[in-house]
Structure 1
Amino acid sequence: MTTLDFTKFDEDGADGADGADKDGTGPVTADGMMPLWAVSLGWELRRGRQVILNGQIRDRWWFEDRPASFRDLVAGVLEARGADVVGWWDPVAGLTFPLPGHAERFAELAAGRRGRSDETDRAAPDADAGPGGRRPGASTGDGRPAGRDTDGVRGSDGLREGDGSRGGEGVPGSDGTRDGARPDATAPDGQQTDPRTRRGRERGRERSSLLAPRQAGPPRSFDDVVAVVHRLVASPDASVAFVFQDVDHHLPPGQPESNAGYLRLRAAMADAVTSRDGLAGRPPHARNAVLCAVGDVGRLPGWFHLEDPRIATLHIGPPDPSERRLWLTWLRDEFNGAPEATRHDIEALVGATDGMSGWDIEALARTSWLRVAPLQKPDKLLELHRLNVSVDPWTQLDRDTVARAAGVLGTRVVGQTKAVEAVSAALQAAFVGIDFGGSGTARPRGAFFFVGPTGVGKTELAKAVAELMFGDQSAYARFDMSEYQQEHAAERLAGAPPGYIGHEQGGELTRRVQERPFSVLLFDEIEKAHPRVLDKFLQILEDGRLTDGRGQTAYFSQCLIIFTSNTGADAVQGLLSDGGEDGAEEVPYDALEAHFTQAVEEKFRAIGRPEIYGRLKPGVVVFDMLRRAHIVKIADRLLGQLVESVRERHQVELVPDTATLHPWITARMSTPEHQAYGGRQIRNELERLRTAVVAHFLARRPSPGSRVRIGVDTAGTPWARTEATAGAGAGATTEEGNG
Structure 2
Amino acid sequence: MTDTTAVLPHQTGSLLPGHPTFVNEIVGTLSVHSQYVLHGNLRDEFLVTGEIMPLHRALWSALRPSGFEALITYDQIDGIGVYPPNDPAALQAVERVLGSNVVGRRPSPERLRMHLAKAVGVPEQPPIEAGGSRSAAPVAPVLRPAARVAVVVDHAARLVRAPGQLSEEERDFFLLCQKLASAAKAHTFPSTRQAPLYNPVLWLVDGERDLPAWFTAGVESIRAVAVGLPTLEHRLERARSLMPKFPPSTQDDPVAKTDPVEVFANRTEGMTLQAMRRITLLARDRDLGADRVADAVRIYKLGVDDNPWRRSSVRDQIIKGEQVITERVKGQGQAVAKTLDILKRAALGLSGAQANTSDSRPRGVLFFAGPTGVGKTELAKQVAELLFGDAQAYLRFDMSEFSAEHAADRLTGAPPGYVGFEAGGELTGAVRRQPFQVVLFDEIEKAHPLLLDKFLQILEDGRLTDGQGVTTYFTECVLIFTSNLGIIRTDPKTRERELLVKPGMPYVELEKKVKGAIRDHFTTELGRPELLNRFGDNIVIFDFIDPRTAGGIFGGQLGNVIRKVHAELGVEVELSPAGLQQLQGMCTADPDNGGRGIGNQLESVLINPLARLLFHEDAQPGDRVVITGVQAGDGTAGATLWATVHRGVR
TM tier, shorter chain? 0.7 to 0.9
Structure-2 change in CA distance of 1:551 and 1:342 (3 Å): farther
Structure 2: distance between partners of 1:600 and 1:237: 64
Task: Map residues 105-124 of structure 1 onto 2, 5 A cutoff.
Answer: 105-107=93-95, 109-111=97-99
Q: Residues 44 and 50 of structure 1 are in contact (CA less than 8 Å); yes or no, is this contact kept in structure 2?
A: no
Aligned length: 597
Q: For 1:707-726, what per-residue CA distance to the aligned partner results, in whole angstroms no more than 9, with x for missing partners?
A: 44445347785326562334
What CA RMSD, in Å, does the superposition of the two structures yield over aligned residues? 3.9
Q: Residues 443 and 483 of structure 2 are in contact (CA less than 8 Å); yes or no, is this contact kept in structure 1?
A: yes
Q: Secondary structure at the match of 2:29?
A: helix
Q: Which has the larger radius of gyration?
A: 1
Could you tell me how far 1:97 is from its partner in structure 2? 1.7
Match of 2:129 in 1: none
Q: Residues 262 and 304 of structure 1 are in contact (CA less than 8 Å); yes or no, is this contact kept in structure 2?
A: yes
1:417 aligns with 2:333: yes
Q: For 1:192-243, what per-residue CA distance to the aligned partner results, in whole angstroms no more than 9, with x for missing partners?
A: xxxxxxxxxxxxxxxxxxxxxxx88754233233323324533425123322
Match of 1:40 in 2: 25
Q: Residues 628 and 666 of structure 1 are in contact (CA less than 8 Å); yes or no, is this contact kept in structure 2?
A: no
Could you tell me how far 1:692 is from its partner in structure 2? 1.4
Structure-2 change in CA distance of 1:714 and 1:386 (3 Å): closer
AA in 2 matched with 1:718: T
Structure 1: distance between partners of 2:290 and 2:76: 40
AA in 1 matched with 2:557: L
Which of 660, 666, 673 in structure 1 is aligned with 2:584?
A: 666
Structure 1: distance between partners of 2:403 and 2:412: 16
1:428 aligns with 2:344: yes
Match of 1:724 in 2: 646
Q: Residues 538 and 612 of structure 1 are in contact (CA less than 8 Å); yes or no, is this contact kept in structure 2?
A: yes
Which of 436, 442, 449 in structure 2 is aligned with 1:518?
A: 436
Q: Which moved more, 1:503-512 or 1:262-271?
A: 503-512
Which of 372, 392, 399 in structure 2 is aligned with 1:454?
A: 372
Could you tell me how far 1:557 is from its partner in structure 2? 2.9
Q: Which moved more, 1:564-573 or 1:419-428?
A: 564-573
Could you tell me how far 1:104 is from its partner in structure 2? 4.8
Structure-2 change in CA distance of 1:78 and 1:216 (3 Å): closer
Q: Secondary structure at the match of 2:77?
A: coil
Q: Residues 587 and 598 of structure 2 are in contact (CA less than 8 Å); yes or no, is this contact kept in structure 1?
A: yes
Q: For 1:340-372, what per-residue CA distance to the aligned partner results, in whole angstroms no more than 9, with x for missing partners?
A: 999965355444433221201212323443455
Match of 2:66 in 1: 81
Structure-2 change in CA distance of 1:615 and 1:53 (3 Å): closer
Match of 1:281 in 2: 193
Structure-2 change in CA distance of 1:380 and 1:661 (3 Å): farther
Could you tell me how far 1:511 is from its partner in structure 2? 4.2
Match of 1:55 in 2: 40
AA in 2 matched with 1:694: A
Q: Residues 404 and 448 of structure 2 are in contact (CA less than 8 Å); yes or no, is this contact kept in structure 1?
A: yes
Structure 2: distance between partners of 1:440 and 1:315: 26
Could you tell me how far 1:467 is from its partner in structure 2? 1.8
1:468 aligns with 2:386: yes
Structure 2: distance between partners of 1:273 and 1:601: 57
Q: Which moved more, 1:452-461 or 1:441-450?
A: 441-450
Structure 1: distance between partners of 2:262 and 2:115: 49
Could you tell me how far 1:108 is from its partner in structure 2? 5.4
Give aligned-pair identity as a percent: 31
Which of 606, 613, 629 in structure 2 is aligned with 1:696?
A: 613
Q: Secondary structure at the match of 1:567?
A: coil
Q: Residues 588 and 598 of structure 2 are in contact (CA less than 8 Å); yes or no, is this contact kept in structure 1?
A: no
Structure-2 change in CA distance of 1:348 and 1:109 (3 Å): same
Structure-2 change in CA distance of 1:350 and 1:216 (3 Å): closer
Match of 1:225 in 2: 112
Task: Map residues 526-541 of structure 1 onto 2, 5 A cutoff.
Answer: 526-531=444-449, 533-534=451-452, 536-541=454-459
Which of 232, 243, 250 in structure 1 is aligned with 2:159?
A: 250
Could you tell me how far 1:420 is from its partner in structure 2? 2.4
Match of 1:684 in 2: 600
Match of 2:307 in 1: 392
Which of 341, 349, 359 in structure 1 is aligned with 2:274?
A: 359
Could you tell me how far 1:624 is from its partner in structure 2? 3.0
Match of 1:236 in 2: 144
Could you tell me how far 1:89 is from its partner in structure 2? 0.9
Q: For 1:12-49, what per-residue CA distance to the aligned partner results, in whole angstroms no more than 9, with x for missing partners?
A: xxxx24xx7x9x7xx7566xx32121121122322242
Structure-2 change in CA distance of 1:342 and 1:267 (3 Å): farther
Structure-2 change in CA distance of 1:66 and 1:43 (3 Å): same
AA in 1 matched with 2:206: G
TM-score where L is the length of structure 1: 0.70
Q: Which moved more, 1:545-554 or 1:77-86?
A: 545-554
Which of 638, 643, 650 in structure 1 is aligned with 2:557?
A: 638
Could you tell me how far 1:633 is from its partner in structure 2? 3.3
Could you tell me how far 1:301 is from its partner in structure 2? 0.7
Could you tell me how far 1:389 is from its partner in structure 2? 1.7
Give ranges in structure 1 of 5+ residues lacking alignment: 10-15, 113-214, 578-583, 729-739
Structure 1: distance between partners of 2:310 and 2:257: 30
Could you tell me how far 1:463 is from its partner in structure 2? 0.9
Q: Residues 450 and 564 of structure 1 are in contact (CA less than 8 Å); yes or no, is this contact kept in structure 2?
A: yes
Q: For 1:469-527, what per-residue CA distance to the aligned partner results, in whole angstroms no more than 9, with x for missing partners?
A: 11234431222223344566567656677887777766554444343321212222223
TM-score where L is the length of structure 2: 0.79
Structure 2: distance between partners of 1:432 and 1:76: 47
1:310 aligns with 2:221: yes
Structure-2 change in CA distance of 1:278 and 1:636 (3 Å): farther
Q: Secondary structure at the match of 2:304?
A: coil
Structure-2 change in CA distance of 1:533 and 1:219 (3 Å): closer
Structure-2 change in CA distance of 1:65 and 1:488 (3 Å): same
Q: Secondary structure at the match of 1:72?
A: helix
Task: Map residues 619-638 of structure 1 onto 2, 5 A cutoff.
Answer: 619-638=538-557
Q: Secondary structure at the match of 1:678?
A: helix
Structure 2: distance between partners of 1:558 and 1:706: 50
Structure-2 change in CA distance of 1:504 and 1:300 (3 Å): farther
Match of 1:327 in 2: 238
Q: Residues 84 and 238 of structure 1 are in contact (CA less than 8 Å); yes or no, is this contact kept in structure 2?
A: no
AA in 2 matched with 1:327: R
Could you tell me how far 1:391 is from its partner in structure 2? 1.1
Could you tell me how far 1:298 is from its partner in structure 2? 0.6
Structure-2 change in CA distance of 1:656 and 1:542 (3 Å): farther
Q: Which moved more, 1:493-502 or 1:94-103?
A: 493-502
